């Protein structure tokens, strides 16, 4: 069977990336990290910013953009126009601008098109902000993950440290708050809970518990088909 979609949405640090990766691994599904795609385009945008950033420039940039997501061993890599940008897209500069760039309607339209193309005929665990609401409104499973801001900030700091990026906890927290606010209130496809999503609060859950829970939900749904 192909074409089974698990949509996982939630704020930054809610646990969705780790859970999505873990579930994809256990079920042998393709893992589609849409945040990495927005981050990669933000990187390109920041590199080109000097030429002015009106709508025509954004459209031209999008036309010239190629984003690939590859699994290499146990690691996931993001390629922007052939270059491995997996680390660069996690840098503070990208964190600062990614929400604004993601709010541009042309960017969202392009991303949604690419995401549907990538997922076509595959079994996919797809994570982001608008997956269950906009990208795959017919997804067989929809999960919305949330957690307390402080817990999310600590998790994000730990993740960054593992990539040798050292940022103050206060700075991480400020960025999360800013992005939460921006991503939830933007005009186009804001972060919100899909009507038929299962809400999971991960504040007091371990990664193992999160993955087990979502895996159980997915397996139950697979069985019911
Ligand atoms: O999941 P993340 O932190 O890597 O996402 C980075 C940013 O990308 C997030 O702050 C908002 C944007 N984003 C989005 O607007 N829609 C998505 N489906 C995924 C990410």
Q: pLDDT tens for residues 161-179? A: 998 989 999 999 999 999 9
Question: What does the domain layout of the chain look like in residue ranges?
Answer: 5-224
Residue 2 pLDDT: 77
The tokens for 43 are 């990187």
Q: In angstroms, rounded to a whole number, what is the distance separating the alpha carbons of residues 68 and 98?
A: 18
13 labeled binding residue: yes
- How many other CB atoms are there within 10 angstroms of residue 4's CB atom? 18
Measured between its terminal Cα atoms, the distance across the chain in Å is: 10
Is residue 175 within 6 Å of ligand 1 at its C-beta? no
The model scores a pTM over 0.85: yes
Average pLDDT of span 189-218: 96
CA–CA distance, 32 with 135 (Å, rounded to integer): 12
In whole angstroms, give the CA distance from residue 214 to residue 205: 12
Superfamily, domain 5-224 = P-loop containing nucleotide triphosphate hydrolases (3.40.50.300)
> In angstroms, what CA-CA distances link 225 with 4, 15, 218, 221?
10, 27, 11, 7
Where is pLDDT greater, at 55 or 175?
175
Q: Measured between alpha carbons, how far is 40 from 81 in angstroms, rounded to an integer? A: 10
Q: Whose CA is nearest to atom 11 of ligand 1?
A: 99
Structure tokens at 52: 């002015």
Residue nearest to atom 10 of ligand 1 (CA): 99
Asked if residue 115 has its Cβ within 6 Å of ligand 1, the reply is no
Query: What's the alpha-carbon Rg for the chain, to the nearest Å?
Result: 17
pLDDT for 27-38, tens place per residue?
999 999 999 999
Residue 51, pLDDT score: 58
């Amino acid at each position: 069977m192909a074409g089974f979609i698990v949509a996982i949405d939630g704020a930054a640090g809610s646990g969705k990336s780790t859970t999505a990766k873990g579930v994809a691994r256990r079920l042998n599904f393709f893992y589609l990290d849409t945040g990495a795609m927005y981050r990669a385009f933000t990187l390109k945008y920041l590199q080109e910013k000097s030429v002015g950033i009106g709508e025509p420039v954004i459209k031209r940039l999008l036309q010239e953009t190629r984003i690939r997501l590859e699994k290499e061993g146990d690691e996931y890599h993001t390629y922007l126009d052939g270059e491995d940008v997996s680390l660069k897209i996690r840098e503070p500069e990208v964190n600062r601008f990614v929400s604004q760039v993601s709010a541009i309607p042309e960017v969202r339209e392009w991303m949604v098109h690419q995401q549907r193309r990538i997922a076509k005929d595959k079994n996919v665990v797809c994570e982001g902000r608008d997956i269950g609401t906009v990208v795959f409104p017919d997804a067989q499973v929809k999960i919305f993950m949330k957690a307390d801001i402080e817990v999310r900030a600590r998790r994000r700091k730990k993740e960054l440290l593992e990539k040798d990026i050292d940022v103050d906890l206060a700075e991480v927290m400020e960025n999360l708050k800013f992005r939460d606010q921006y991503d939830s209130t933007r005009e186009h496809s804001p972060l919100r809970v899909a009507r038929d999503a299962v809400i999971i609060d991960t504040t007091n859950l371990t990664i193992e518990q999160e993955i087990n829970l979502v895996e159980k939900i997915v397996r139950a749904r697979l069985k019911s088909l």
